[in-house]
Amino acid sequence: MISRAAIAGWGVCVPEARLTNADFEGLVDTTDEWIVERTGIRERRIAVEGETTATLGIAAGAAALKQAGITPEDVDLLVVATTTPEQPIPQTSAFVHEGLGLRCGAFDVGAGCAGFVYALVAGSLLLVGGALERVLIVGAETLSRILDYTDRQTCVLFGDAAGAVVLEAARGDDPPGLLAWDLGCDGSAAELIQMRAGGSRMPTSAATVAAGEHWVRMDGAEVFRRAVRLVVASASATLERAGVGAEQVDLFVPHQANARIIAAAAQRLGLGPERVAVNIDRYGNTSAASVPLALAEAADDGRLHDGDLVLFTAIGAGMAWASALLRWSDCPGDANGRALT
């Protein structure tokens, strides 16, 4: 009897407020055409007063629990992925935990834009290794709160959102769920995406605020150069570990960093656009929220079917990368096991 962590429910929360490319034309030297051509983004959602990383995460988590047909008492563990925490102390998962009325363990995962896939892998392994029944994974971000709206390199890229999935134990001879994964990090490239101040290396002071050290900065050209190669290598390693080829993947759900990165990676993997989930045009880069947001939209649109192979991949600050391959199931708790086709 094999046990795997399968997705049993999903949910999202996106702010109502929108910031379009046209809105940026009065803020920085840019145009709608320039942004669309280089990123694929047309608009992004922005949190307003009263909306925070935790409130978005709570709403997405509640939607995932409802969709899975379970109550807060049924959750054995909560993992929250975020790069924009509610506050430095305590961890964001404590606020999400309280907001949902959970009574289980909870912790945060960083890893930037790769955070959700990291959390998904960690939660899956803890579910199986710890003999748990259900784990809630949340990716939530309010990136608009750490952006310098005079920096064209970053301010046009990011948006706010949250997405969540419920992982449930599926058992059988070959049940659905997590089949293989790949995690990696190149710390020598940590300076490519960073917010320098606010930690132990550069504590917050009047000088750090005045110098703009609390805004996120990015070397976009170098990130782009590395991203396609790392995404393809990580996804390929995951497929190899699962013993399947790219032609068997039914849906590729990449981190929504840049439309050109997504297209180039999919092409190198041999995946046509009909097998790729893309929503960056409407939400921008929502970091740890982007993979669950794209997955939820694909599921709600009927693009996923029982037995489908779903490939996730993401790259983020650190530079951290992560991929995971799962077999989808309409009813994971009733799995009898299916062989790969």
Catalytic residue among 113, 185, 214, 336: 113
* Rounded distance between C-alpha atoms, residue 82 and residue 60, angstroms: 14
Pairing of β 77-81 and β 251-254: unpaired
Query: What's the Cα-to-Cα distance from 145 to each of 51, 91, 220, rounded to whole Å?
Result: 11, 17, 19
In a 13 Å sphere around the CA of 59, the CA atoms on its Cβ side amount to 15
Active site residue 255: yes
- Bridge-partner residues for 6, per DSSP? 168
Task: Give the number of other Cβ atoms within 10 Å of residue 209's Cβ.
Answer: 12
Task: Give the number of other Cβ atoms within 10 Å of residue 55's Cβ.
Answer: 20
Catalytic residue among 97, 155, 255, 258: 255
Catalytic residue among 285, 305, 331, 336: 285
Peptide bond into 254 cis (omega under 30): no
* Rounded distance between C-alpha atoms, residue 288 and residue 314, angstroms: 9
Task: Give the number of other Cβ atoms within 10 Å of residue 302's Cβ.
Answer: 7
* Rounded distance between C-alpha atoms, residue 30 and residue 132, angstroms: 50
Active site residue 258: no
Active site residue 305: no
Q: How deeply is 56 buried, as exposed, middle or buried, from its count of CB atoms within 10 A (0-12, 13-18, 19+)?
A: buried
**Catalytic annotation, residues:** 113, 255, 285
